[in-house]
Amino acid sequence: MSFLRIDAVSKSFGANTVVQKFDLSIRKGEFVSLLGPSGCGKTTVLRMVAGFETPSSGAIVIDGQDVTNLPPNRRRIGMVFQAYALFPNMSVFDNVAFGLKIAGMAKAEIGARVTEMLKLIGLGHLADRYPYQMSGGQQQRVALARALAPKPQVLLLDEPLSALDAKIRTSLREEIRQIQQQLGITTIFVTHDQEEALSISDRIVVMNGGRAEQVGTPFEIYNRPATRFVASFIGTLSLLEGEAMGDGQMDVAGQKIAVTDLRGAPGTPVTLALRPEALSLVPSAERANTLQGEIEAVQFLGSVVRMRVRMGANVLLLDAFNSPAAPPPLRGETVSLHFAPGDGQILDQPLAV
């Protein structure tokens, strides 16, 4: 059951179409991230859901109501922006109370609600402070409290963490997720940071050039990237180029490996995406599904050792756990790499018929 539906929405500014036939269904209480490079249209989608932009075509439906042409203040939406956007001349209390006053709530009720919200974000003791007296992280929590105070039915977060330093960013994203789950509020989160999206979301929409390239859980997006773009945008991986052999096997420069779900007639070019952690070093080529290659570089990263291994025109990255008992192999050594047939992902393969 979808609570929020974006239905074939497009948006053009003059001749420039920045969102193209964008579809998305979000369940009640779900946390969905829009992830993609700068300029891919994430913010424009969010602003159309908020009502700050009107779609050129398509519809936006929230809880069964078509809101496409409703102004922002009639959509029951709470929004948090990248820049804290608090009212600088108002105390924390007044900032959080702002939407409630506009809505005409009684004074006593406002007091109770603001107190409840400040408690939720752990800033009850700072109600009398002004924005300039607070850190960026605290200001952003106040912005969140202000957005949530009027009990919106949808929370929209536009890169709310990107102005903060790395440590605060990580702790605040956990806090946002925890509050979102506690309240069960349907949320759309815009970010260009893949780690942020992977760590916080129920589902991720990877956007490219105004379109949704893939929609899936973090697990699916990371492990089963549907396209070359998604594969290269999310995390680290290597691409192995070869040819289908017609029997679920792939030929990589004369070496034969099995790959789950490999279709394609013999001779068809195949690109296999492999994460560094999917590969392991094995003592020799005797195990099934191994490839031989030469170590080109070894990077000691602490808990993990990353190796770059060349096989003809292909270069594979491999992560091995550090073992105090066994120093990593050296540059120039020939090694055997193993991966399970189901651990790679074939890119841009036509769908099964």
Binding site for ligand ATP (CB under 6 A): 13, 18, 36, 38-44, 192
Beta strands in 55-118 (DSSP E): 57-62, 65-66, 77-80
Nearest to 76 by CA among 155, 152, 156, 184: 152
In the bound complex, what is the minimum distance in angstroms from residue 204's beta carbon to ligand ATP? Answer: 14
Cβ neighbourhood burial of 165 (10 Å; 0-12, 13-18, 19+): exposed
Cβ closer to ligand ATP: 50 or 179? 50
Quote the least distance from Cβ 91 to ligand ATP, whole Å: 31
Min dist. Cβ of residue 216 to ligand ATP (A) = 19
Contact 281, 329 (CB under 8 A): yes
Question: Which residue has the closest beta carbon to ligand ATP?
Answer: 43
Strand partners, 22: 9
| Cross-strand bridge partners of residue 300 | 305
Of the two residues 39 and 267, which places its CB atom closer to ligand ATP in the complex? Answer: 39
Residues in the chain: 353
CB of 152 within 8 A of CB of 77? yes
Phi first, then psi, for residue 135 (nearest 5°) are -75, 165
Smallest separation (angstroms) from ligand ATP to the CB of 47:
7
Q: How far apart are CB 38 and ligand ATP at their closest, in Å? A: 3
Side chain identity at residue 234, one-letter code? I
Query: What is the amino acid identity at position 220?
Result: E
Given the complex with ligand ATP, which of 98 and 189 has the nearer CB atom? Answer: 189
Question: Would strands 304-311 and 238-244 be described as parallel, antiparallel, or unpaired?
Answer: unpaired
Q: Minimal distance in Å, beta carbon 10 to ligand ATP? A: 12
CA distance 43 to 353: 36
Instruction: Give me the half-sphere count of Cα atoms (radius 13 Å) on the Cβ side of residue 171.
Output: 10
Minimum distance of ligand ATP from residue 205's CB (angstroms) = 11
Of 57 and 65, the one with the shorter C-beta distance to ligand ATP is 57
Rounded to a whole number of angstroms, the minimum distance from the CB of residue 13 to ligand ATP is 3
Closer CB to ligand ATP, residue 38 or residue 303? 38
Give kind and range of the element (H or E) at residue 4: strand 4-13
Residue 20 or 271: the one with the smaller Cβ distance to ligand ATP is: 20
- CA dist 94 and 71 (Å) reads 24
User: Cα separation of 321 and 346, whole Å?
Assistant: 26
Considering beta carbons, is residue 146 or 192 the nearer one to ligand ATP?
A: 192
Instruction: Identify which of residues 110 and 190 has a Cβ nearer to ligand ATP in the complex.
Output: 190
